[in-house]
Structure 1
């Protein structure tokens, strides 16, 4: 393998590494976005269902 082959292999490896890092970055951003959307959905669901009253007694014997 000559110098040209070594240089080409190095460039190819660098390109692959850059593409891998870019893909990973995009996936992380997508996951962060999904996490934020899930948190907002949970918050909306918690607000939609009122908490049951805590000081009420239900008579089940009647």
Structure 2
């Protein structure tokens, strides 16, 4: 859902539905890898960090 802000907790729940124990830093690591892969498409940072809340896909920049 472009433009919607997802918290780390929401992302962890969605990505790890088997309820394994992961650190919220794991989500940061995944986001870093996604940003690197997406950067190949264009020189923009499409995944925006929302301080204290989570992450969102910024469609305005796409």
With structure 1 as the length reference, what TM-score do the two structures score? 0.31
Tell which structure's C-alpha radius of gyration is larger: 1
Give the structure with the higher percent helix. 1
- Bigger RCO (CA 8 Å, 6+ sep): 2
With structure 2 as the length reference, what TM-score do the two structures score? 0.31
